[in-house]
């Protein structure tokens, strides 16, 4: 692992520890998720080539965490969601580390933090059956409303329908778009209320990926010698997500989500210094 990647993972680890401390103090339930869960099980650390960190929470804990974290996380953190950041164009919350830089060049003009981040996903109750299509449409429209600032800057979309819809949505004032987006998200959550299934909004097409009970009983996984909560059924869940997850992928597939040439990364300098020259 390069020194640059190690420094990056050191920042992610510090962030994860501080978030874990906050969750423990307030009894907020969460689990390591996706590649971070896989890293804890397979590497007892982060996946060496990974370039983000993910955790997930039951929806009620997710809502509590946002309010508490905005008040109580150290001043060198910034918590962003559509509730407090109009240009936030993701369907989940992000916690950013001030004094660092992780600029996705395609989003450099958005009025968001561009520091190193950690993604936090809600487990959303998911309808199992024909009703899932209604839930999907609610979340897709909510997401489209969030994406307008990004679309305005790039005018890029591979989807023909999106190329028609985005110019129309952009005519709606941003405050109204954002309020409608939040209401649609809440309606999607209410629509799935009482379902034993949950999904996460990282997938573009929302689906009942899991039984909620699969994420309720916890054990611990290890990252850099420290334990964090992971589901007791981690083997079954990781197999479902990744297949033969203990087998390393071919070297050609050992890369992060972003192409290095599209990212400006600095673990010691604030992103505002770079935005001046980009």
**Which three-class secondary structure string do you get for 156-216?**
CCCCHHHHHHHHHHCCCCHHHHHHHHHHHHHHHHHHCCCCCEEEECCCCCCCCCEEHHHHC
Q: Is the pLDDT of residue 160 over 70?
A: no
Confidence of residue 2 (pLDDT cuts 50, 70, 90): confident
Percentage above 90 pLDDT, the chain: 81
Residues of each domain in the chain carrying CATH 3.30.460: 3-125+210-275
Q: Is the pLDDT of residue 101 over 60?
A: yes
Rounded Cα distance, 214 and 63, in Å: 21
Mean pLDDT on 166-184? 93
Rounded Cα distance, 206 and 201, in Å: 6
**Mean pLDDT value across the chain:** 93
Give the tens place of pLDDT for each residue, 180-224.
999 999 999 999 999 999 999 988 889 999 999 999 999 999 999
Mean pLDDT check: name the lowest of 42-56, 160-174, 193-207: 160-174
pLDDT of 86: 96
Please say whether the structural domain 3-125+210-275 has been given the CATH code 3.30.460. yes
Q: Please identify which residue in the block is written with the tokens 């650390």.
A: 45
**Which three-class secondary structure string do you get for 103-136?**
EEHHHCCCCCCCCEEEEEEEEEECCCCCCHHHHH
Q: Is the pLDDT of residue 156 over 70?
A: no
2 against 202, higher pLDDT:
202
First CA to last CA across the chain, in angstroms? 28
Q: Given its phi and psi angles, is residue 209 left (phi above 0), alpha (psi -120 to 50 degrees) or beta?
A: alpha
Give the tens place of pLDDT for each residue, 110-138.
999 999 999 999 999 999 998 999 999 99
Mean pLDDT on 155-162? 60
Q: Is the pLDDT of residue 274 over 70?
A: yes
Confidence of residue 7 (pLDDT cuts 50, 70, 90): very high
């Amino acid at each position: 692992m390069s020194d640059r990647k190690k420094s990056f993972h050191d920042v992610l680890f510090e962030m994860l520890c501080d978030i874990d401390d906050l969750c423990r103090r307030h009894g907020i339930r969460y689990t390591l998720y996706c590649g971070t869960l896989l890293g804890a099980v397979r590497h007892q650390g982060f996946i060496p080539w990974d370039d983000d960190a993910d955790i997930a929470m039951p929806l009620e804990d997710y809502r509590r965490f946002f309010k508490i974290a905005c008040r109580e996380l150290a001043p060198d953190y910034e918590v962003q969601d559509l509730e407090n950041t109009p240009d936030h164009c993701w369907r989940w919350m992000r916690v950013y580390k001030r004094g660092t830089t992780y600029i996705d060049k395609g989003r450099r003009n958005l009025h968001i933090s561009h520091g190193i981040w950690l993604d936090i996903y809600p487990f959303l109750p998911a309808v199992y059956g024909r009703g899932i299509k209604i839930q999907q449409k609610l979340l897709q429209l909510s997401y489209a409303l969030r994406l307008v600032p990004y679309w305005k800057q790039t005018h890029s979309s591979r989807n023909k329908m999106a190329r028609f819809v985005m110019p129309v949505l952009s005519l709606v004032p941003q405050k109204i778009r954002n309020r409608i987006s939040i209401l649609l998200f809440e309606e999607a959550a209410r629509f799935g209320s009482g379902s034993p299934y949950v999904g996460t909004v990282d997938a573009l097409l929302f689906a009942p990926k899991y039984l909620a009970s699969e994420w309720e009983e916890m054990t611990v996984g290890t990252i850099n010698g420290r334990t964090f909560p992971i589901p007791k059924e981690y083997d079954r869940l990781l197999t479902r997500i990744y297949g033969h997850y203990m087998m390393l992928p071919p070297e050609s597939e050992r890369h992060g989500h972003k192409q290095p040439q599209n990212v400006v990364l600095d673990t010691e300098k604030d992103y505002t210094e770079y935005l001046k020259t980009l």
